[in-house]
Chain A
């Protein structure tokens, strides 16, 4: 009762804050291509693109608790779907997106069925060997995929009316795709499906007892996750304009997982941080030596697992939590002086409830325990 009048106010201020931050971020994101050099814009485009794949992987690994070492394969499937459509049937770029998404969703669904019976390590094994198998398969299916030569297709071109350069247009389109998919991922996780997924991850048996259909949700998690990777791959074809089997070796799959882990598992913006990591660490470390990105990657993965299992996003969250705790400690002190009168109403209402005044112990215990509980709610 006492909390009711304050909730809308804090809710409103929070919403305002979120909206402001959102606007600021959107402004920054939209303004970026007009400020940076084309190459930097291209790099940012790649970050956004990888973030989609990582968000998909995050659905499966971070929120679903299933390990996939083969998401590069779905990425490749999406990229090849787009490339083949553009190369053979000359459909527009936009048409390739839903098709790539659908193809990968179905692939993921097909993969999700054996994945049901494989837990943990075995799923990792199967997905890894799938990722290893894919490049030779792509080379073999030469008629469709162009074999080891790959396929060269048109990049995404800006429409004449926009007056934008190629890199700027691509960035904006990819930004739109990324924003929509990340929003979709977020809403998916807040829905029934997301809650079921978390329940399955945390305790399968308990989830099943609560009425969550394990097989359905695990398979769907795989399918959604594959779909995100496929969308990411499709956009990759738009941006790069070239696909070849060797661009999608199993190293890609491992890199995706590494990026996600470093960015932050089961975090909503971990994929963005992870994508930046995947994009920038190799390009910075490559200057030192060919092997340096791997050394840095491998070392960071292990170190992150040791000291910060929640990744970069978790570190940010922890730092924010520490600051917030400092702040709330001061506010709760000032708050406590104000709502003091309201609990006075409570005991009168709760003391009237006990029907058995003959038993002193429970009536004594109840008013002590009850007010804080309602206060928290």
Chain B
């Protein structure tokens, strides 16, 4: 009995960290849907958003006021990056685009170090201590909080995409940019909007994970790998897949770390590598993705 409870305990913790991976994976998927780019700098953008939040809180703002300000800054930053950095290479060979996002990764990472130094900073925990007891399984308020926030972000994105005219336009661009442009949609602006949204969703993941990992410029490096695994598992063009993938990766990681002796706590980062490899070899389009058909 106790082993079952222990297992459930691990699953709950896995879901908690999985929700964070899910939100970063969601950001990756959003950008991939709109531009066909995998943004290697996504984690670093989330990291720098988190620094903005930290700076606001450190200068005396309350956390719940700092959060919307941070999200707004991230949104604007994402739009700016699309316009300045990504637009010039839109449509260039994949190699060029990947290298540009890698350059962005290095640049943003170093800028954070330049501004805020590489020393670790304490990030305030927005959720209360303690938790609730569900039939012997302890669920921390912070875990519940993370899950609730990610669920709320999902719901908002769903409403935006399915029930607003902006969402309709965005879906049109994601579906077929050329046709969208012909029917009068300003594709460039929609792409900026997409990057802004992705940066915002990524910022949420950064703010959620910072109290657990402590804030430093390399904080999101590991999370990014898990988010890649989540997006690959769910399918790079499926937002639902990103969330499901994130939760699965989180649970798999926690269980592997707890029950597989060979892996243990230190080699957990091998789990996303295994997941990515397995998915790509068995079902490259992911669980929810559509297989790409290639015309020779």
* Chain A residues close to B by CB (< 8 Å): 61, 65, 67, 69, 114, 117-118, 120-122, 124-126, 128-130, 132-133, 136-137, 139-140, 205, 250, 254, 257-258, 261, 265, 289-295, 297-302, 305-306, 309
**A120-B95 contact, Cβ under 8 Å, with A295-B111, A298-B108:** yes
The contact of B102 among A205, A254, A292, by CB within 8 Å, is: A254
**A298-B99 contact, Cβ under 8 Å, with A133-B270, A136-B269:** no
Indicate if B296 sits at the interface (CB-CB under 8 A).
yes
Q: Could you tell me if B107 and A126 are in contact, using CB atoms closer than 8 angstroms? A: no
Could you say which residues of chain B place their CB within 8 Å of the CB of A299? 103, 107
Distance A128 CA – B102 CA, assembled complex (angstroms): 11
Q: How far is the CB of B80 from chain A (nearest CB, A)?
A: 14
Q: Could you tell me if A121 and B273 are in contact, using CB atoms closer than 8 angstroms? A: no
Distance A101 CA – B184 CA, assembled complex (angstroms): 57
Could you say which residues of chain B place their CB within 8 Å of the CB of A265? 95
Q: Could you tell me if B222 and A132 are in contact, using CB atoms closer than 8 angstroms? A: yes
Indicate if B100 sits at the interface (CB-CB under 8 A).
yes
Could you say which residues of chain A place their CB within 8 Å of the CB of B222? 132
Distance A128 CA – B38 CA, assembled complex (angstroms): 13
Interface of B: prevailing SS:
helix
A65-B95, A129-B269, A139-B266 are known; give 4 further A-B pairs, CB within 8 A: A61-B95, A291-B110, A294-B110, A302-B104
The contact of A291 among B40, B113, B228, B229, by CB within 8 Å, is: B113
**A290-B118 contact, Cβ under 8 Å, with A117-B281, A132-B221, A297-B110:** yes
* Chain B residues close to A by CB (< 8 Å): 38, 40, 85, 88-89, 94-96, 98-100, 102-114, 118, 221-222, 225, 228-229, 232, 266-267, 269-270, 272-273, 276-277, 280-281, 284, 296
The contact of B225 among A117, A122, A129, A309, by CB within 8 Å, is: A129
Distance A292 CA – B269 CA, assembled complex (angstroms): 29
Could you say which residues of chain B place their CB within 8 Å of the CB of A132? 221-222, 225, 269, 273
With CB as the reference atom, state the residue of chain B lying closest to A115. Answer: B280
Q: Could you tell me if B96 and A305 are in contact, using CB atoms closer than 8 angstroms? A: yes
Interface of A: prevailing SS:
helix
Q: Could you tell me if A297 and B106 are in contact, using CB atoms closer than 8 angstroms? A: yes
Q: How far is the CB of B238 from chain A (nearest CB, A)?
A: 16
Quick one: which of B100, B103, B273 has the most chain A CB within 10 A?
A: B103
**A121-B88 contact, Cβ under 8 Å, with A114-B277, A136-B269, A298-B104:** no
> Which 9 A-B residue pairings sit nearest by Cβ, starting from the closest?
A294-B110, A298-B107, A301-B103, A291-B113, A298-B106, A291-B114, A302-B103, A205-B296, A120-B94
List 18 A-B pairs, Cβ < 8 Å: A114-B277, A117-B281, A117-B284, A120-B95, A120-B98, A121-B98, A124-B40, A125-B228, A129-B273, A133-B267, A133-B269, A254-B102, A290-B118, A294-B107, A294-B110, A297-B103, A298-B106, A301-B99
Could you say which residues of chain B place their CB within 8 Å of the CB of A117? 280-281, 284
Q: Could you tell me if B99 and A257 are in contact, using CB atoms closer than 8 angstroms? A: yes
